[in-house]
Amino acid sequence: MKSTKEVLPFAVILLAVNGDINAINQILKHFEHYVIRLSQKTLFDEHGNAYIHVEEETKRMLETKLITAILRFELS
């Protein structure tokens, strides 16, 4: 069974590691759904109904950590 996930091209990773803003944005877009999923929190309204809320502060923190990891990544 083949994976349906697309792999980032090596050229994009190389550019991102070297600080290219467009490549970093492309990586952020690639991981956007995962970051949103990690940022979700289940809350309850006044009637006890559950709903999903995306914590924007958590999302921004995860994106910042991803950018930091990209810029510190060493290709050898």
Instruction: Give the burial class of 31: count Cβ atoms within 10 A of its Cβ; 0-12 exposed, 13-18 middle, 19 or more buried.
Output: middle
Give the Cα-Cα-Cα angle 49, 52, 55 (nearest 5 degrees): 135
Residue 70 structure tokens: 């990209």
Q: Note down pLDDT in tens along the chain; length 76 residues.
A: 555 678 999 999 999 999 999 999 999 999 999 999 999 999 999 999 999 999 999 999 999 999 999 999 998 8
pLDDT at res. 20: 97
Length of the chain: 76
